[in-house]
Structure formats: structure tokens, C-alpha cells
Amino acid sequence: MNGHEIIRIDSIKWWMTTLTNGSRHPVPLCPDHDLRLTPIRPRVYNSVQRGYVNGYSEDAVELKCAEGPHKIAIPRTFSDEKQYVVDRVDAEVFKGMKVLNLDDEATPIAKDKIKSKNGKHFLTSQLMESKRGLQAVIYAGKKGSPAKTQILITPEEKRLAFDQKDLHPTEVFLKIEATFDDGSKHSIEK
Ligand SMILES: [Zn+2]
């Protein structure tokens, strides 16, 4: 957004301008005549004067185009609608951004690594604490090879899971079996 774009939202054209303090200020334009639209101040009841008076422009729910003139209704108050336009423009940017999910972040609390006698294969087991509970992660593979298998065991789900991006567990193991505290078992085998 370079400040010279026109965005169409709620059947109105919005010209996105930037104020000197850096904040963005959408200006409504008539979709047919490209004229700036003026908010029509709502009539509000004033209990002191016992009658209807003009309310604030920011509370307007109708905009006026000088050509005609004709009116265009907006689904929110003028002030909320302008914020909505800025939010919609930003949502387009946020949509394309990568998400760093700290909810799923797990902290390692114990780690153990074992090697085969000839040193060619390794197995690392790690105990992780996360918001979703305790989980065990097992990595196994050939030493020096970037390909490995990663098996995730979550006691709550009572099953073995693995990452599709890595080697399938059966490419490393003949059989893996997990036994949970309720006696149930889950295995992956060739
Ligand atoms: Zn118009």
C-alpha cells in the first residue's frame, strides 16, 4: 500500500491517504462519480432541547454524493467503517504472513542418545513438556545422513505419530510399539 491506491469495500471506493503523523485515513469516494462522499450527520434526540438535533459526522450511517445528489448507506457508523477499511487492508497483509505458533512450543526436560555398536545408527529420545501435556520424541537414523525418522508419542492421544516430511518409521525400524499407562498399545510395523 503506497498511499495512492483505491480499494473497493462495501460497494464504495476508498482512497487510502496517510496523515502527517503516519496514520492511515481512508476517504470514501462515490463508485459512480468518483467524488468524495460526505457523511450525513444523523438526527439524534436531545432531551434538554426536547427535539431532534444533528449528531456527529463520525456516527453517520449514510454518505452523500454531490452529483444528483444521491445517498449511499454504509453497514456501520462512519468511524467504525473507516477502521474496518483499514483492518480489511491489513488483513490482506496478515493473511500472507508466516505463523510462529508458540502455543505448540515444547520445552525439552530430558534427553538421551544411544548409538549402535558399530556407530552407524543413532537413536535420540527426548521428553518434552508442552501446553498440550507431556510428549516423547524419538529421532532415529543413519549417522551422517540428513534423512531421519521422527516419532512423536503423546500420552493423552495414546498413539504414535510421525512427521510425513521425514523418513517413514518402517524405513528405520521393523516394529515400534508404545505401551500406555492404561495398558493400551499402539504400534507401527512393516
Ligand atoms: Zn455519486
DSSP sequence for the chain = --S--EEEETTEEEEEEE-TTS-EEEEEE-TTT-PBPEE-PPEEEETTTTEEEE--GGG-SEEEETTTTEEEE-SS-HHHHHHHHHHHHHHHHHHTSPP--GGG-EEEEEEEEEE-TTSSEEEEEEEEEETTEEEEEEEEEETT-S-EEEEEEETTTTEEEE-TTS--GGGT-SEEEEE-TTS-EEEEE-
> Residue 2 pLDDT > 60, yes or no?
no
Q: For residue 129, report the distance from its CA to the centre of ligand 1, in Å.
A: 61
pLDDT confidence of residue 1: 47
Least confident of 2-6, 11-15, 23-27, 183-187: 2-6
Q: For residue 59, report the distance from its CA to the centre of ligand 1, in Å.
A: 21
The pTM of the full predicted model, rounded to 2 decimals, is 0.57
Give 4's pLDDT tier (boundaries 50, 70, 90): low
Percent of the chain with pLDDT strictly greater than 90: 45
Least confident of 2-6, 36-40, 72-76, 182-186: 2-6
Give 154's pLDDT tier (boundaries 50, 70, 90): confident
The three cell numbers of residue 185 are 498399545
Q: For residue 66, report the distance from its CA to the centre of ligand 1, in Å.
A: 7
Cα distances (angstroms) measured from residue 62 to each of 29, 39, 73: 13, 6, 4
Q: For residue 37, report the distance from its CA to the centre of ligand 1, in Å.
A: 8
CB contact at 8 A, 95 and 87: no
> Residue 82 pLDDT > 90, yes or no?
yes
pLDDT in tens, 101-136: 777 778 888 899 999 888 888 899 988 888 778 888
